[in-house]
Amino acid sequence: MAMKKLKEKFGIRIMPWPVFMLGLMILLTSFVFMPGVVSLALSLALFLAPVWLPFLLVSGAWTLWIIFRRSEFIAEQNYMLLEIKPPRGLEKTPLAMEAFFSGIHLSPGEATWYKKYIKGAVRPWWSLEIASLEGEVHFFIWTRAAFRRIVEAQMYAQYPGVQIVEALDYTRLITATSKDWSIWGCDFAHTAEDPIPIKTYIEYGLDKVQKEPEQVDPLANLVEFMGSIGKGEYLWLQLIIRVHKGEKYNKLNASGKVYTWKDEARDLVQRLRAETVGKVKYKDIFTGETRETDGFPNPTKGQSEKMAAIERNVSKLGFDVGARGVYLARPEKFDPIMISGLTGIFKQFSSEGWNGFRPSGWMTEFDDYPWEFGVSKLKDKYRTWLIDAYRRRQFFHDPFKKDAMVMSTEELATIFHIPSRAIGTPSLARIQSATSEAPANLPV
């Protein structure tokens, strides 16, 4: 935290290796000038090694074992990328997509400690992706091959007219190396606590079908922006999701169970209620003294709505969510303005005083101060890792483990749903008409 503040305020980036070398130099200098003290400290540490060394070794070995087994399990799975092609006349609301997310709220594979810690099994995760390939916008879902039937069944149940086809991984159709491409990317994080909702489709009035001229879909802003790029430019956006089980908090609640976002919501509502209690002064009829006591809760309309929104949000199924965006372009086509567009791509879902999204990590770590030496090589490393993380669809496990957000099915359906015909962006790939199977009783 101190190093982060130092970088933000003064533009001083402290690298690990210089700090290590400085510590080593201090140790050697101390040994030259105070050999007795240093020798005593080292002797004491060596004497106590039977106490602290086993804990260090066992802890390190257990961590490496978990990483190894999980990595092996993940590598053994087969994955596929499914493209979703909406028809031109689609009139579904985001409520259909919320039902889809409820249908894939599944967490097999971690039922027992043996599967989780010995076999290294992890619950499945999905990657919801919107990609602009030189201005042509496509919707994808990346999944384990074993879950293809479930994904297709849930999608066709809510969107009977869509077409789902297995697609080539668009991220591997170009080299995406910093030598050939200019690359910028970031993750996204909440601006407030997870239980506080973003501005969802219900606030936009999309919980019911409206007349087309009146319908306002916030996803149209995103799709239009992504479709504005030209030849030699690519814009990738992914939402990596899995069932929320509370790993983010890594603690227990008052009942001794795993602390989840529902517990955080309860604590948050209690804190908000406490803020609505004002002090009341009264005069003691016996002593005549003026005293002060707590009054009744008296929340404002905004506070009442915020508490109600939190409770409504966590009453729905929750997902851990990792959001990531990448802009790639040929060096001669790279437009710095696209960086501002990418960092603000979710602005229409943000609400003052509630929740929203802010860019974090990856290329946002660099401030381009002139006195930062060696940053160009570090940037190239970050770009390589960024593309690798995107291609692997990794957010919850090593080597690209990040702090995820927690979002409800309602919030997810707001920022990722199949566009209705109200979104008339010509760059959005659609099929000409809805498709369906032939009737079962068709005479032959």
Does residue 413 register a pLDDT over 50?
yes
22 token code pair: 């400085």
Element (H, E) at 379: helix 375-392
**pLDDT at residue 323 above 80?**
yes
- Asked whether residue 50 carries a pLDDT value surpassing 90, the answer given is no
Whole-structure pTM value: 0.86
| Residue extent(s) of CATH 3.40.462 domains in the chain | 72-251+319-415
The predicted pLDDT at position 46 comes to 84
Distance CA 185, CA 359 (A): 9
257 and 353 in contact (C-beta within 8 Å)? no
Per-residue CA distances from 31 to 27, 37, 39, 48, 398 (Å): 6, 8, 8, 20, 39
Q: Where are the beta strands (DSSP E) in 53-135?
A: 79-85, 126-133
Predicted confidence (pLDDT) at residue 11 exceeds the cutoff of 80: no
Q: Is residue 389 over pLDDT 60?
A: yes
Pick from 29-43, 164-178, 336-350, 379-393: least confident: 29-43
Distance of CA 411 to the CA centre of its chain: 12
Give the pLDDT band (50/70/90) at residue 406.
very high
Residue that wins the pLDDT comparison between 427 and 237: 237
> How confident is residue 149, by pLDDT bands cut at 50, 70 and 90?
very high
72-251+319-415 under CATH 3.30.420, yes or no: no
Please give the Cα distance from 110 to 217 (Å, whole number).
38
